[in-house]
Structure 1
Amino acid sequence: MRSELFSAENLEKEHSQPGLRLQNAKLLKAELNGDFLARTGSMVAYQGQVTFEALGSGGLGKFLKQKLTGEGVPLMRIRGNGDVFLADNAADIHLIDLEPGDALSINGANVLAFDSSLNYDIKMVNGAGMFSNAGLFNCVFSGHGRIAVTTRGTPVVLNVDQPTFVDPQAAIAWSASLQTGYHRAEQLGFGTLLGRTTGERFTMSFAGQGFVIVQPSEEPPGGLAGAGEKKSSGSGGILDNIFDD
């Protein structure tokens, strides 16, 4: 049988060491000898002796935070020996290696899989949460290991070496050490009073040393974005007590 479908670029890629790797731009391959964590429902194929265990959000504390915030990653633990392929509606997949001391704040909807050696928690986005793609809360990953994230299209990674402003629905992840806030981008004027708008009323602001990953797609806010004004102003209340680590 002959077909361009069987060309070398479409054949399964083999490696000598286990771990998370790209099979192609839209398909993640986990060469498994142990375990890792992945978004529930992301498996598209597997070979070998592999088991799947539902974890919810990854522990009681994260489960409670997810119920309160609407943010988090519905997880499954994948164990065994074999090859597992994962995807998310043909989104682009990117690998990020975290080193000790690194921390990444990311919208939970953009998390595909990560090494079990990594730690993650659900935390408030200071100063700009209600305007962010993730809502009032984001997932923060730290430790040593690899994480696979998804974007809708090819992203740009901005180095925050000067005042940086990003459409809140396009910012998917950033260095957790950055200071975040919000900035009114649209100037008030006669046109605004007549109901005219640029569609760019607010942007997220970033300051400090680090990077911001921006995708070329504006997704509607998640989490508590719609309820943020009612439930939290960024200080005080039960949510601050829960998320103030």
Structure 2
Amino acid sequence: MSSYSIQEFMEKTERSESPSEVFGLQSERILEVDLTDNVWAKMGTMIGYTGDIKFERERALEHGVERAVKKTFTDEGGELMKASGRGRLFLADQGKRVTILDLGSQQLTVNGNDLLAFEPSIDWDIEFMRKAAGMMAGGLFNITLQGEGKIAVTTYFEPLTLPVTSDQPVFTDPSATVAWSGGLTPEFHTDINYRTFLGKGSGESIQMKFSGDGFVIVQPGFETE
């Protein structure tokens, strides 16, 4: 157990120099946002701020009727909040590792539980993997983001990126799957036999299969039901 004087503790844990861009890391688990207008973030992830910032829950029709209907029937990965004003905003999600990605007009689909924040310049929509209905309780709904700007995603520990090619699909555990690039076609793949029903299977009977050209981001840890 470490022991510090008050001064030593303050020096060790005080906020470091501010990032030079809108999104920056105070540590590998804390996102700092240099807020001058507004930003969208996962509800309940604000851990502190300075300046004059107001927080609003995402309104029912904030992003149009179609998206509101999708959210009603999917209950996607927690609600969004909009932080508006000027100041420094600090975000974190259950101690998970934070990674900042610059989309650069590319498309990325992220598991709703793993999306921490994104700039207002980013366009987004909810994707529903219908073929998975009835196969598993979670991991069916994801958020597709595209445009110019940055997003922040969270992972349990260090993420791993797996390349996908047209002749080499990639299979992943749905709960470990964080995000995938726009050039991929995801589908649920089952490997169920009599041993699965007898309770002697490996536990990996439901998988995600990614085909096309691109990449998949996975994490080495995740919550279990």
TM range (shorter): 0.7 to 0.9
Matching of residues 53-92 of structure 1 within 5 Å: 53-56=56-59, 58-59=62-63, 60-71=65-76, 73-92=78-97
Give 1:95's match in structure 2, choosing from 84, 97, 100: 100
Shift of 1:192: 4.7
RMSD: 2.5
Shift of 1:104: 1.1
TM-score (norm 1): 0.78
Report the counterpart of residue 24 of structure 1 in structure 2: 27
Shift of 1:122: 0.8
Report the counterpart of residue 108 of structure 2 in structure 1: 104
TM-score (norm 2): 0.84
Distance in 1 separating the partners of 2:36 and 2:197: 62
Give 1:6's match in structure 2, choosing from 11, 34, 57: 11
Unaligned runs of 5+ in 2: 1-5
Distance in 1 separating the partners of 2:197 and 2:31: 49
Q: Which runs of 4+ in 1 moved over 6 A?
A: none
Is the 8 Å Cα contact of residues 104 and 141 (structure 1) preserved in structure 2? yes
1:20-77 Cα offsets, whole Å, 9 max, x none, are 1111111000011121111122111111122222214643432221111121551221
Unaligned runs of 5+ in 1: 222-245
Shift of 1:135: 3.5
Count residues in correspondence: 216
Counterpart residue type for residue 187 of structure 2 = G
SS in 1 for 2:70: helix
Matching of residues 167-178 of structure 1 within 5 Å: 167-178=173-184
Report the counterpart of residue 122 of structure 1 in structure 2: 126
Shift of 1:13: 2.4
Distance in 1 separating the partners of 2:115 and 2:148: 16
1:116-175 Cα offsets, whole Å, 9 max, x none, are 000111122365566578543211111111011111222111111322110111112111
Report the counterpart of residue 147 of structure 2 in structure 1: 143
Q: Percent identity?
A: 35
Distance in 1 separating the partners of 2:190 and 2:44: 38
